[in-house]
A and B are shown apart, each in its own frame.
Chain A
Amino acid sequence: MDVQSWTLLLVIISFTIYIGIAIWSRASSTSDFYIAGGHVPALANGLATAADWMSAASFLGMAGLLSFTGYDGSVYLMGWTGGYVLLALLLAPYLRKFGKFTVPDFIGDRYYSNITRSVAVVCALLVSFTYVAGQMRGVGLVFSRFLEVPINTGVMIGMIIVLFYAVLGGMKGITYTQVAQYCVLIFAFMVPAIFISIQMTGNPVPQLGMGAEVLGEEISLLDKLDGLSTDLGFTAYTDGSKAMIDVFCITAALMVGTAGLPHVIVRFFTVPNVRDARKSAGYALLFIAILYTTAPAVAVFARTNLLETVSDQPYEDMPPWFQKWETTGLIVFNDKNKDGLIQYVGDADKNELTVDPDITVLANPEIADLPNWVIALVAAGGLAAALSTAAGLLLVISTAISHDLIKKQWKPNISDRAELIFARLSAVVAVCIAGYFGINPPDFVAATVALAFGLAAASFFPAIILGIFYKKMNKEGATAGMVVGILIMLYYMLKFKFDMFGGGSEEDWWFGISPEGFGTVAMLLNFMVSLVISTFTKDPPEKVQQIVETIRLPKNAGRASSH
């Protein structure tokens, strides 16, 4: 069978499973819709969180990014896993004990203010929308590349599938489809990685193969890659080119941003008790770590393969995958010195080849000559990763509208049934908006994902942490902190990413920190403003201080409710 038939077969099988699960787990109340009724077992929640977390960017993009940035890419590896330690130790157990439906719920109640709640809702919507557009685009890309349908048709198919199980099943449907999607995506990621590791080093464990000796040579793979890179004028793979302070700040911003992302936090509302909230955070990170420790190995294999295949080789001798990706414009060869050989070097004036990092994972099985079903499997895995994350984000968006805005602020007396209808309607609207951005992607998608993390770090994280660990934090302090944090973050991003407010280049960065890392500074500022303002304003009411006392004790978490 050829690649396309295999892909079609695997995509149809996996989609049938997702839809079957959605029909089996329909939501019948708002509690089902928002938090899967609050009785998801810890293991299932761990699997679902992992699928929710690992997006098209993790699955398709990260190994490529690492492959082209070497050590500098470590910020993503540590940043996107270390956040789970913060989540497990500082947030998840207490938010679960608090027992409501959403993050703005916690902020609104803890800070006894609808203004604070509204600020939180705006942040949640901003973060989730910037994130979801990229996911729909990812779905479209996979469809267009492997099934040769136009990219927009791909986005539409993805929309219909997500619509189906998100609207029907809400969190309940999403949770169990995500469990299935995790299994698909991890299998799809590991199989080619193991194959290639055996091919290159003879070691079937990619995490070990990454450092092992190259088969038939007396040199370790990493040393060989460092040598190849420096010979061609690139930075040595295991050395970075970013400043240490920037690496430090980006890592911190991604960690804290991870812990502040609403679609991740809300997953911990779905387990029965505090004990399970802690445990499922551990499972989640374990399942994420399987992919995140394999990705750097894939990156090293792919980079070595690429350099060896193309460097100083005649253009005519390139294997078929080279031409195939050339037609998509993701590989571009420009024979500057007309010698018919490919010069792929660090010096921009002499370099003749540009390779889009995004193709690394998709092209890797072809480059390594793996069987067709493996290539098709990667496509199904990419779809699973994109769909699971999109669904989780859409749920946060629809909950923010139906619960945080309509139920909590606009129509408090609405019945559960009516609220459920609103929740489903908001999900439909959210899918359509996401689909629109998928078809007409704003050219700043890549930049806004970093913005999403920065915003989450600058807004939610300090407000939640102080809400739990500092009893005297009041609404004045928290609101001022969130507003200052978000505004300064937005200002910095707009100035240095979008050339507004006079723009500026790398030399103008404050303290040498890039916009991606600035979330750390904005977060610290949020903490400081909150603490200073709260000392000059009134203490929170006795009742609120009582709430803080109770969420610190794990017993009797009960089922989450809206009351």
Chain B
Amino acid sequence: MDTKQKKATAYWKENVRYLIILLSIWFLVSFGAGILFKETLNTIKVGGFGLGFWFAQQGAIYVFVILIFVYVRLMNKLDKKYGYDE
């Protein structure tokens, strides 16, 4: 493997690592908090909402938006680190 190839593989590995972390959070706030653990979380009340219901109808969506912008930031940094930025 030449250095160019090595660089590309390392970049891809880091990219996939970010994806796994971000998608785990994506799964936790929607399928986790909003569906699977909804009943348990509903016993906690925040701002008039049961927490499980809040995640299902509000919270998950806020987290989704944040996740994408975090991803954009991380990837811009990663591109720069490996010289793939334009």
Contact = CB atoms under 8 A, between A and B. Distances in A.
Interface in B1-45: 8, 11-12, 15, 19, 22-23, 26, 30-31, 34-36, 38, 42
Nearest to A237: B53
A238 interface: yes
Interface string A84-98: 110011100100000
Contacts of A292: 61
Contacts of A93: 75
A78 B60 contact: yes
A212 B48 contact: yes
Given A244-B36, A555-B84, A71 B72 contact: no
A89 B19 contact: yes
A74 B61 CA distance: 11
A286 B84 CA distance: 27
B86 A213 contact: no
Contacts of A223: 48
B56 A77 contact: yes
A552 interface: yes
A60 to B, nearest CB: 19
Contacts, number: 129
B56 A275 contact: no
Contacts of B68: 84-85, 88-89, 278, 281-282, 285
Given A212-B48, A278-B75, A554-B84, A296 B35 contact: no
Contacts of B42: 238
A248 B35 contact: yes
Given A85-B22, A89-B68, A211-B47, 10 more contacts: A74-B56, A211-B49, A223-B48, A278-B72, A278-B75, A289-B65, A293-B61, A296-B58, A554-B85, A554-B86
Interface of B: 8, 11-12, 15, 19, 22-23, 26, 30-31, 34-36, 38, 42, 47-50, 53-54, 56-58, 60-62, 64-65, 67-69, 71-72, 75-76, 79, 84-86
7 contacts: A74-B56, A78-B34, A85-B22, A244-B36, A248-B35, A285-B65, A286-B65
